Amino acid sequence: MNYPVWDVAFGAGLLMAVVAILHVFVSHFAVGGGLFLVLTERRARRNNDEALLDWLKAHTKFFVLVTVVFGAVSGVGIWFTIALISPTATSNLIHAYVWGWAIEWVFFFVEITAALLYLYGWNRLEPRLHEWYGWIYFFAAFMSLVIINGIITFMLTSGSWVKNHEFWKGFFNPTYFPSLAFRFAIALALAGIYALITASVQKDPELKARIVRWSSRWIVPCLAVLPFLGWWYIHRIPAEVWASARGPMPTGTHYAMLAVILLSVTFVLALLALARPRRIHLAFSLLVALVALGTMGSFEFVREAIRKPYVIANYLYANSLYAAETPGDGGFNADAVSSAGILPTAKWIKTRELTPANEIAAGREIFRVECASCHTPNAYRGLKHYITLRAWDRNEIDAMLTGLEFMHNNVMPPFAGTDAERAALAAYLSSLHPIPASAPVVTDGATVFAQNCSMCHQINAKDKLFRNLPKDPGTASDAMKDLTSLFPLMPHLQLTDQQRMALAQWVNAQRTAKGIAVAEPGGNEP
């Protein structure tokens, strides 16, 4: 709202994801690969293994072409991209952490220089001096991870920074150390995985086997230790945040599952390579890398997903509104925008007044400034898809927008704006998938639940719907007539008698199937 919104038809979030994932896949290699180079060089020299040394020279060239070129440019690319998509967050991160970025820049400069000198030094330096450059490279690359890790983890678990705004309090936040260990293990595993690629094109099967076996000593233990580091990491994330990846939030949950599956597949593929080290083919090594890329991408997706609704935890929402009033926020916090309205507050919109005639156009403007940082109308995270799936009409959309912040384990920011603006947004969203008045009303309980309740309610004993809804279908149906009277934050949904009855019966069936006990009446919040 403070900055103009860049309209990316296929989804700004998707562009961000592509740039970020490709970058981290290379930048972690840049860290682990540094240690790999220098330790492999030492090993080859100790064993007088000229062939291994020759391979390592070629591998260094590959390393530089991948990390110094693509890694460095795509790293700058992340800066470019986040500034285009989330300028407010970027501005905050820059001002709060500029000295962190500046320190990282020094290491980056040393890192790049050392990488080039290590490459060019192969045939002109004494072995010990050459290794010295390798160690400096690795040290600088590792230190750049040490720095950037503080800022990335700060975004997920901002710790006490939100209260005191102290640099180190945000930097050494609750997930700092587990994330550092986790990422370093990934970095070391990737060093081995990338080595498989250049190993696979070697003609000498004995050499190939030696490299594969040596690479496996990097891949296998590091992948094996990842679940434990992940467990540590997860336990430092607030339980209610991690809960997003355990069912309530589709994105977080699916990618968490995918990360586990792909990690296992990478592990198995690495073992297969080890089983037949002489015969590893280029296509196979690329497959291992591709699966590893998928694993890494899934992990980053989970981190980003469970961080929602924030871009900086407990401070700034993904749509660039401050979560609470902050001195100097310029009125761009959710409460202030709710009372003043979006159209008068947002800087970069054309429509300033809402009239019955411009309702849909104004709704589209509201969508752009409040939703488009993550959603598109009809592409990446397209709202049309969600609305179609649940067959929501305009009234239902409006009702759902009132409780946006409770959906999917609270991963959405609240709708910030006036009631009329919310209605305009609902009008625009329903125009994406208009429901004809003659459309048949859904009457089976499962679908009623899926379309109207499943965003917030989970089928388990802890869920208030399943715990507290009266067992007698008639009483239950009556209770659901006016949801907001049950609990003021419920959306004002108008289900038909038939739908309510079907839902109550279906809830009872689920209780029986899953053994969910009904709470005694009296303490009944929904």
Partner 1 sequence: MIEPNMIPNLDPNPLPAPFWVFKVLLVVTFFLHIVAMNLMLGGAVMAIAAKWRAKDTSYGTQAFFDIARKLPSLLPATITLGVAPLLFVQVLYGQYFYTSSIIMAWPWFLILVLITLAYYGFYYVSFRSGQQPGKSGRVMWFSAILLFIVGFMFSNNFTLSQTPSRWSDKYFSDPSGWNLNLAEPTLIPRYLHFFVAAVAVGGILLVFMAMANWKRDRAYARLLLNLGGKTFMYATMAQMVVGLIFLVTLPRDMRMLFMGDNALATALLLVGVVGGIAAIFLMADALRKENLRVAGYLVPGILGVVILSMSIMRDILRDAYLKPWFRPEQFTVQTQWSVFPLFLVVFVAGVILWFVMLARFGLLGGKRAGARATSPDSTGAKQS
Which residues inside 310-329 make contact with partner 1, applying CB under 8 A? 322, 326-329
Q: Does 524 bind partner 1 (CB under 8 A)?
A: no
Angle between helices 205-236 and 176-200 (to 10 degrees): 160
- Inter-residue contact 256 to 300 (CB < 8 Å): no
Q: Does 449 bind partner 1 (CB under 8 A)?
A: no
Site residues for partner 1, 11-30, by CB under 8 A, read 15
d(CA 177, CA 166): 18
Q: Is 333 helix (H, G, I), strand (E, B) or coil?
A: strand
Q: Does 10 bind partner 1 (CB under 8 A)?
A: no
Least distance from partner 1 to the Cβ atom of residue 38, Å: 15
What is the Cα gyration radius of the chain?
Answer: 27
Residue 323 makes CB contacts below 8 A (sequence gap 6+) with 310, 314, 315, 316, 317, 333, 334, 413
Of 113 and 484, the one with the shorter C-beta distance to partner 1 is 113
d(CA 480, CA 490): 11
Q: Does 142 bind partner 1 (CB under 8 A)?
A: no
Q: Does 484 bind partner 1 (CB under 8 A)?
A: no
Q: Does 46 bind partner 1 (CB under 8 A)?
A: no
| Contact window for partner 1 (CB under 8 A) among 111-119, 217-225, 401-409, 458-466 | 111-119
Q: Which of 5, 193, 199, 426 binds partner 1 (CB under 8 A)?
A: 5
Q: Which helix (H) or strand (E) holds 316?
A: strand 316-317
Q: Is 317 helix (H, G, I), strand (E, B) or coil?
A: strand
d(CA 349, CA 421): 14
Of 276 and 347, the one with the shorter C-beta distance to partner 1 is 347
Q: Does 487 bind partner 1 (CB under 8 A)?
A: no
Identify which of 82, 76, 77 has the alpha carbon closest to the alpha carbon of residue 13: 82
Least distance from partner 1 to the Cβ atom of residue 306, Å: 24
Least distance from partner 1 to the Cβ atom of residue 21, Å: 15
Q: Which of 49, 62, 135, 167 binds partner 1 (CB under 8 A)?
A: 167
Q: Which of 119, 188, 229, 311 binds partner 1 (CB under 8 A)?
A: 119
Q: What is the DSSP string of 382-401?
A: BHHHHHHHHT--HHHHHHHH
Q: How far, rounded to the nearest angstrom, does the alpha carbon of residue 479 sit from its chain's CA centroid?
A: 38
| Contact window for partner 1 (CB under 8 A) among 64-72, 188-196, 199-207, 479-487 | 64-72
According to the 3-state scheme, what is the secondary structure of 17-41? HHHHHHHHHHHHHHHHHHHHHHHHH
Q: Does 203 bind partner 1 (CB under 8 A)?
A: no
Q: What is the dihedral of CA 342, 347, 352, 358, to 10 degrees?
A: -80
Identify which of 419, 324, 411 has the alpha carbon closest to the alpha carbon of residue 375: 411
Least distance from partner 1 to the Cβ atom of residue 340, Å: 13
| Contact window for partner 1 (CB under 8 A) among 107-115, 214-222, 238-246, 418-426 | 107-115
Structure tokens at 429: 């969203």
d(CA 63, CA 32): 11
Q: Is 415 helix (H, G, I), strand (E, B) or coil?
A: coil
Least distance from partner 1 to the Cβ atom of residue 27, Å: 14
Least distance from partner 1 to the Cβ atom of residue 178, Å: 23
What pairs with residue 312 in β-bridges?
316
Helices (H) and strands (E) in the chain, counts: 24, 2
Q: Does 410 bind partner 1 (CB under 8 A)?
A: no
Of 132 and 284, the one with the shorter C-beta distance to partner 1 is 132
Least distance from partner 1 to the Cβ atom of residue 171, Å: 9
Least distance from partner 1 to the Cβ atom of residue 154, Å: 13
How many residues touch partner 1 under the rule CB under 8 A: the total is: 80
Of 308 and 368, the one with the shorter C-beta distance to partner 1 is 368
Least distance from partner 1 to the Cβ atom of residue 314, Å: 14
509: number of Cβ within 10 Å? 12
Identify which of 138, 139, 165 has the alpha carbon closest to the alpha carbon of residue 154: 165
Q: Does 502 bind partner 1 (CB under 8 A)?
A: no
| Contact window for partner 1 (CB under 8 A) among 121-129, 378-386, 456-464, 483-491 | 121-129
Q: Which of 18, 160, 163, 168 binds partner 1 (CB under 8 A)?
A: 168
Please tell me what DSSP assigns to residue 406: G
Question: Which residue type, as a one-letter code, is found at position 111?
Answer: E
Q: Does 106 bind partner 1 (CB under 8 A)?
A: yes
Q: Does 62 bind partner 1 (CB under 8 A)?
A: no
Q: Does 481 bind partner 1 (CB under 8 A)?
A: no
d(CA 437, CA 424): 19
Q: Which of 163, 281, 347, 481 binds partner 1 (CB under 8 A)?
A: 347
Of 250 and 330, the one with the shorter C-beta distance to partner 1 is 330
Q: Which of 39, 62, 70, 381 binds partner 1 (CB under 8 A)?
A: 70
Q: What is the contact mask toward partner 1 in residues 357 to 396, using x (rule: CB under 8 A)?
A: -----------x----------------------------
Site residues for partner 1, 71-100, by CB under 8 A, read 72-74, 76-77, 79-81, 83-84, 87-88, 90-92, 94-96, 98-100
- Inter-residue contact 363 to 427 (CB < 8 Å): yes
Of 16 and 245, the one with the shorter C-beta distance to partner 1 is 16
Q: Which of 182, 242, 332, 406 binds partner 1 (CB under 8 A)?
A: 332
Identify which of 163, 143, 155 has the alpha carbon closest to the alpha carbon of residue 92: 155
